[in-house]
């Protein structure tokens, strides 16, 4: 999708996350000069399959798997430094050259042990279904202006002051939860002091780096985590993450102007999944839902939790098209539907006898929503070897054509397997 008119491309999830963004970023990164993560943290899990080897990346952009591509972690990310270096070491062990190719925004906030402790002890976090990785508490400290940024590691006295403030708040929360656990400030400071010599050499003004790269004509890929329906403003609140997962968050989370963004690619599965609690209007009950989970191997790359599975929801994806300004769609996991005899497509919700075709912000409406489906005959053919749209069964093409019409965004890619080469680039 990079050409003379598209130099900055945002890749977003257009459902509830886990759409397969890692594979699309990996495919697109071959033509990129830079790949930048712009929000989220180690709660993300992007899986990329190269031959017989699978890489699960939590914070490092998927572009790191392409030699020569520079990667950065933007200021909008809350960075878990311990997890970051574990990830780097695993990549090096697997033969991936990271040296001189990875940059971390000096403005990025750090996820510290007390953030994880608060997350683990909070009944509210468990009710919402967070990953327990400390993401929400870290963003809370950021907004409350007591967060620790990467650049604070250069100033031990300033860092101590911030950690003491953060620890005091965390201890107050733990006491409110009825937990006997407390934060050890000195232990936290010792951990940071030990990580600083390795983390600070990676620290850069990432926004300035990308601004200069764009001025020089570089192709830049901005990679989001989670999905649009988990956006703190536009998702199914309060069952959301703590950051802006939509394309609007990309400019803020990297430090470039929104006018620098040329195109937005939304990634969707050929069906719908979500992890944890919250609305999923098209959830498939019983044995069929279990079968789709098995066929799609729907277990979280980060948590291992089983994902809830539903039929494709065109109401959700049309909403995602609008709030992201999607210029194209990438459909993943079409092959998971290969063996089904009938496939449903949600075109609207019936609530109290009235049909709605736009996604509501009121969760009480979603609780009462009955999906209105169009049913398609399954193609019951193997699609993993398809490399053009013409290679797909006619029934599969009809399904894709209808989705394209309903969500009001053209399909640019169709993935039919986990490998890099199992993808169809759709010619406009």
The verdict on whether residue 348 carries a ligand-binding annotation is no
* Phi, psi (deg, nearest 5) at residue 328: -170, 160
Catalytic residue from among 18, 26, 33, 152? 18
241 among the known binding-site residues? yes
Of 26, 33, 46, 58, the active-site residue reads: 46
18 is in an annotated binding site: yes
- Sheet of 220-223, strands arranged across: 203-204, 102-105, 70-73, 34-37, 220-223, 8-13, 263-269, 328-332, 411-415, 423-425
Count other C-beta atoms under 10 Å from residue 125's C-beta. Answer: 18
Residue 224 annotated as part of some ligand binding site: no
384 appears as a binding residue in the annotation: no
Q: Which of 109, 142, 234, 269 is catalytic?
A: 142
Query: Residue 176: what are its φ and ψ, rounded to 5°?
Result: -65, -35
Examine the residue annotation and report whether 46 is marked as an active-site residue of this protein: yes
46 annotated as ligand-binding: yes
- Ligand-binding annotation for 181, yes or no, is no
| 23 annotated binding-site participant | yes
184 is in an annotated binding site: no
Q: Annotated binding residue at 21?
A: yes
Is 20 among the annotated ligand-binding positions?
yes
Query: 334 labelled as ligand-binding?
Result: yes
CA distances 237 to 36, 124, 241, 279, 361, Å, are 26, 13, 9, 10, 8
Q: Is 43 known to sit in a ligand binding site?
A: yes
142 is catalytic: yes
Q: Is 19 annotated as a binding residue?
A: yes
Q: Is 302 annotated as a binding residue?
A: yes
CA distance 255 to 232: 19
Q: Confirm whether 18 is a catalytic residue.
A: yes
Q: Find out whether 6 is annotated in a ligand binding site.
A: no
158 is in an annotated binding site: no
Is 333 labelled as part of a ligand binding site?
yes
Is residue 28 marked as binding? no
Task: Check whether 415 is labelled as a binding-site residue.
Answer: yes
CA nearest neighbour of 4 among 263, 254, 250: 263
Residue 8 annotated as binding? no
Residues annotated as binding site? Answer: 17-23, 43-47, 131, 145, 226, 241, 301-307, 333-335, 415-417
Residues annotated as binding site for IMP? Answer: 18-21, 43-46, 131, 145, 226, 241, 305
Residues annotated as binding site for GTP? Answer: 17-23, 45-47, 307, 333-335, 415-417
Please give the positions annotated as active site. 18, 46, 142
Residues annotated as binding site for substrate? Answer: 301-307
Residues annotated as binding site for Mg(2+)? Answer: 18, 45
């Amino acid at each position: 999708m990079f050409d003379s008119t598209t130099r900055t491309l945002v890749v977003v999830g257009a459902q509830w996350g886990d759409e397969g963004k890692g594979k699309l970023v990996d495919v697109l990164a071959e033509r990129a000069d830079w790949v930048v993560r712009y929000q989220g943290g180690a709660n993300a899990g992007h899986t990329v399959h190269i031959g017989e080897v699978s890489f699960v990346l939590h914070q490092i952009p998927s572009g790191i798997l392409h030699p020569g591509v520079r990667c950065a972690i933007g200021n909008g990310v809350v960075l878990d430094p311990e997890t970051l270096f574990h990830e780097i070491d695993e990549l090096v062990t697997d033969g991936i050259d990271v040296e001189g190719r990875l940059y971390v925004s000096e403005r990025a906030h750090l996820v510290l042990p007390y953030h994880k402790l608060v997350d683990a002890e909070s009944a509210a976090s468990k009710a919402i279904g967070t990953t327990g990785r400390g993401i929400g508490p870290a963003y809370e400290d950021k907004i409350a202006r007591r967060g620790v940024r990467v650049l604070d590691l250069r100033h031990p006295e300033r860092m101590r002051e911030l950690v003491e403030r953060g620890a005091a708040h965390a201890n107050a929360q733990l006491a409110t939860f009825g937990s006997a656990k407390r934060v050890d400030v000195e232990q936290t400071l010792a951990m940071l002091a030990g990580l600083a010599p390795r983390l600070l050499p990676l620290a850069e003004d990432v926004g300035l780096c990308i601004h200069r790269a764009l001025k020089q004509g570089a192709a830049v890929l901005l990679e989001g985590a989670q999905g649009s329906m988990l956006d703190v403003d536009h998702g199914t609140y309060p069952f959301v993450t703590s950051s802006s997962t939509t394309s609007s968050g990309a400019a803020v989370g990297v430090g470039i102007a929104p006018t620098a963004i040329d195109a937005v690619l939304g990634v969707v599965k050929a069906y719908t999944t979500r992890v944890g609690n919250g609305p999923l209007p098209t959830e498939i009950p019983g044995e069929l839902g279990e079968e789709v989970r098995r066929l799609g191997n729907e277990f979280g790359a980060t948590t291992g939790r089983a994902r809830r599975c539903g039929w494709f929801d065109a109401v959700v994806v049309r909403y995602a098209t609008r709030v992201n300004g999607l210029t194209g769609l990438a459909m993943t996991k079409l092959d998971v539907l290969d063996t089904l005899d009938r496939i449903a497509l949600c075109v609207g919700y019936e609530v109290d006898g009235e049909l709605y075709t736009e996604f509501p912000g009121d969760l009480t409406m979603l609780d009462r929503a009955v999906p209105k489906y169009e049913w398609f005959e399954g193609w019951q053919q193997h699609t993993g070897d398809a490399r053009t749209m013409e290679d797909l069964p006619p029934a599969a093409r009809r399904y894709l054509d209808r989705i394209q019409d309903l969500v009001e965004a053209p399909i640019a890619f169709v993935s039919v397997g986990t490998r890099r080469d199992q993808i169809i680039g759709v010619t406009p």
